[in-house]
Structure 1
Amino acid sequence: MRILVLGAGALGGYFGGRLQQAGAQVAYLVRPRRREQLLRDGLVIESPFGNARLPARALLAEEVTPDWDLILLTCKAYDLADAITAIRPAMARGTAVLPVLNGLSHIDRLAAEFGAGAVLGGLAKIQATLASDGAVRHLNDWRWLTFGELDGEMSPRVRALASLFARADGIVATAVTDILQRMWEKLAHLGTSAIGTVLLRANTGEIARSPGGIAFMHRVLERNAAIAVANGYPMPDSFMAEFRALFADTKGGYATSMLRDLEAGGRIEADHILGFLLDRARAAGVPHELHEAAFLHAKAYEQRRDAGRLPTRS
């Protein structure tokens, strides 16, 4: 299988490298600086599930041609427009796009650009980082990828990709017939976590130890579940029980990447997560004052960041 990975960062480098090891023909669409690094040092993976140094075929935008069975999209949601521009020359009849972005709004955007039949649904659960020396560092035992056709068919291309992943070390990949259900479940708990941790600037345990914190998080979770139901995706009882327990755990330490990015003065996925949920809450008639407050908070942060008015660290 011929696979083009957009970028060779934490997710793209890790999943792409493991697919390379499994026998796929993989190339990485990267910027000039990353290309030089890959050509000099190879793709370096440091992981509890095996280290690797692999030769990397690195392409610049002007070198891309439509020769691919699959394009793996691992960018942040705020880079989606640039990602679409970058992969457009690679798209051909029969090319599939597998995005593993947070949220759901990217699905409609990609379908509008390339046709619904070209787009798969996907979820990634992994903690990895791209180190300053160019190595992809896998940080724990999270190594999960879930994917499937949006219409639920177990298609030949999904079966072929599942077979390829089955030969890859360091990945637990699952092809499913209900990927949109899985994506709504992730959005419900990620949206709850983001609203809570961004508004309150604390992790889940710190919120739970604060007066009214557990009830607050449970209220947001219930509203996000109601949004999912209104869109045709009811949350299973087991899901609700799992995340009620997580948000009630006074010893928990979970914080979203959105909070970490915000505290670091970085870009955040405000529109893609918080804005999407706010729009859907309004459309569904779900009480949305908490969604509105979180989205406003995030957008005001972006205004302050763009104006260069964030506090500097000593």
Structure 2
Amino acid sequence: MKIAVMGAGAVGCYYGGMLARAGHEVVLIGRPQHVEAVRRAGLFLDTQTFQAHVPMQAATDASGTKDAKLVLCCVKSTDTETAAAEMAPHLEPDAVVWSLQNGVDNAERLQARLGREVIPAVVYVATEMAGPGHVKHHGRGELVIGPAATSQALARMFADAGVPVQISDNVAGALWAKLIVNCAYNALSAITQLPYGRLVQGDGVERLMRDAVQECLAVAQDAGISVPGDMWEAVQRIALTMPGQLSSTAQDLARRKPSEIDHLNGYVVRKGEALAIATPVNRTLHTLVKLLEAPALRRDASDRGCCLEIAPGL
């Protein structure tokens, strides 16, 4: 099967690399420096269980999605509409589109612009780009997707490639569960530049994270979302399973890139305002990250134009 990865950052490269290693034709669509490295030597897939140079195609624009039967959209939430506009002229009528993005509304936004069904996927993987053409995997890798006519067959395909996929009738709840984890960790990891394991050891951090989680749950409940499981237990488990992981927001700030914070804590703040629910902790975290990323936004305004931003994962 031909598969295109729109936004070949850490998340897209990991899943694209796993699929290519299993024998599928994969095209990574990303920034020129990364594309050049992949074209020259393949993708270096550096995982916890193996290391391999995986040959695959790479492109710098959305024409790489042409003839693909599956498109994994992995761009940052800030670039969702732009990605949809760029992909639209090239997508095959029967192409299946998955959204592997942070936030809870990207599939809906893609669907509105593309005029076709887009399947939301919840991503649980710790990865980073260690250099052009080099993705490093730190842990996990499973996906939760929504039900669709092709979901069962594609889930089996991913499983054969070493990627567990669960099909959920409550994918909205799973998306919110991931959002809540992001709201608990991402901003704090970005502000402190600390990995999760060290972050949670700080004085007062646990209480602050609990408050952020409770605000998110209150907003979700009022919005009619059924969030599965014990969210606080899930949040605590992240620090145990990914102790060395910096959040994607922390990675963005460290690289002086704009983050997705508007679609994480910022989304909860906006949704809370619409529902008349106070979210002071999420508002504070959102505001602090926006202050820290202001230089990155100014830099991005001068750099933008060659390619979309990529979503680095958790």
Give the TM-score taking structure 2 as reference length. Answer: 0.81
The offset of 1:3, in angstroms, is: 1.3
CA change 1:254–1:35 in 2 (3 A) is closer
**What is the aligned counterpart of 1:184 among 158, 176, 179?**
176
Distance 1:33 1:293, change over 3 A: closer
Over aligned residues, Cα RMSD in angstroms?
Answer: 3.0
In structure 1, the residue matched to 2:12 is: 12
Residue segments in structure 2 that go unaligned for 5+ positions in a row: 300-314
Residue in 2 that maps onto 1:152: none
Measured in 2, the distance between the counterparts of 1:266 and 1:146 equals 28
Q: Is the 8 A contact 1:22 1:164 kept in 2?
A: no
Instruction: Give 2:174's aligned amino acid.
Output: R
Structure 1 contact 193–255 (Cα < 8 Å) conserved? no
SS in 2 for 1:156: coil
* Structure 1 counterpart SS, 2:176: helix
Give the C-alpha shift of residue 40 in structure 1: 1.8
* Match status 1:157 vs 2:155: no
Whether the 8 Å CA contact 2:20–2:55 is kept in 1: the answer is: no
CA spacing shift, 1:193–1:90, aligned 2, 3 Å: same
Structure 1 residue 221 displacement after superposition: 1.2
Who is 2:311 aligned against? none
Q: CA deviation at 1:110?
A: 0.7
Partner SS, residue 185 of structure 2: helix
Unpaired runs of at least 5, structure 1: 150-154, 309-314
The answer to whether the 8 Å contact 1:68/1:91 transfers is yes
2:128 aligned residue:
129
Helix, strand or coil at the partner of 1:141: strand
What is the letter of the counterpart of residue 289 of structure 2? Answer: A
Give the Å deviation of 1:305: 4.0
Q: What is the DSSP-based 3-state SS (H/G/I as helix, E as strand, rest coil) of the residue aligned with 1:131?
A: strand
Match of 2:290 among 299, 307, 312: 299
In 1: Cα distance, 2:257 partner to 2:12 partner: 20
Of 217-226 and 186-195, more deviation after overlay is shown by 186-195
Residues 67-216 of structure 1 correspond to what in structure 2 (within 5 A)? 67-115=67-115, 117-132=116-131, 134-138=133-137, 140-149=138-147, 155-169=148-162, 171-197=163-189, 206=199, 209-210=202-203, 212-216=204-208
In 2, Cα distance between equivalents of 1:218 and 1:157: 38
2:279 corresponds to: 288
Letter in 1 for 2:125: I
Cα distance, 1:43–1:196 mapped onto 2, change above 3 Å: closer
Structure 1 partner of 2:213: 221
CA distance, structure 1, for counterparts of residue 38 and residue 151 of structure 2 = 29
Structure 2: how far apart are the matches of 1:264 and 1:217? 25
**8 Å contact 2:186–2:247 — kept in the other structure?**
yes
Residue of structure 2 aligned with 1:230, choices 216, 222, 234: 222
Query: Counterparts of 1:3 and 1:176 in 2: how far apart (Å)?
Result: 23
Query: How many angstroms does 1:227 deviate by?
Result: 0.9
Deviations 1:23-47 (A, max 9, x none): 3332222444433322221222122
**C-alpha separation between the residues in 1 aligned to 2:287 and 2:159?**
43
Instruction: State the distance in 2 between where 1:136 and 1:209 align.
Output: 30
User: When the two structures are aligned, how many residues end up with a matched partner?
Assistant: 296
CA drift at 1:165: 1.1
C-alpha displacement at 1:276, in angstroms? 1.0
Give the TM-score, by structure 1 length.
0.81
Structure 1 residues 283, 39: closer, same or farther in 2, change over 3 A? same
Note the C-alpha offset of 1:246: 5.7
Q: Is the 8 A contact 1:110 1:119 kept in 2?
A: yes
Whole-Å separation in 1 of the counterparts to 2:100 and 2:175: 10
**C-alpha separation in 2, matches of 1:39 and 1:10:** 17
Q: Identity rate of aligned residues, in percent? A: 25
Match of 2:310 in 1: none
Larger radius of gyration: 1
CA contact 1:22–1:165 (8 Å) conserved in 2 = no
